[in-house]
Amino acid sequence: GQNIDQPTEMTATEGAIVQINCTYQTSGFNGLFWYQQHAGEAPTFLSYNVLDGLEEKGRFSSFLSRSKGYSYLLLKELQMKDSASYLCAVRSRSNDYKLSFGAGTTVTVRA
């Protein structure tokens, strides 16, 4: 089975940096995705990691360590609109294109 853990909630101040951690234990590994989901809306794709290291996309970066079963999503220069749930999802090789999602981390940005 799949076990994906991320913190339930995080709070940060506008302009600050927040790091959302995700640890996983899966039968095989074939990529890790981060999604953003605003309340009442659909998840939207943020980033993808399949090799170790850091992927940077503007204010958002995502890191992966396959040996540690660990990823983080880094949000820089936080804005009020970044208040949302952030979902970590893992694709395991044995399950082809199926994704297993973590429960999500609710980030609240305060002025």
Query: C-beta of 90: minimal distance to other proteins in Å?
Result: 12
Max distance between CA atoms of the chain, in angstroms, equals 44
Whose Cβ is closer to other proteins: residue 21's or residue 95's? 95
CA dist., res. 25 & res. 9, Å (int): 21
- By CB under 8 A, name the binding residues for other proteins: 30-31, 33, 35, 41-45, 48, 50, 87, 91, 95-104
Query: C-beta of 83: minimal distance to other proteins in Å?
Result: 18
Query: C-beta of 43: minimal distance to other proteins in Å?
Result: 5
DSSP assignment string, 6-68: --SEEEEETT--EEEEEEEE-SS---EEEEEE-TTS--EEEEEE-SSEEEEETTEEEEEETTT
Whose Cβ is closer to other proteins: residue 78's or residue 84's? 84
Whose Cβ is closer to other proteins: residue 34's or residue 78's? 34
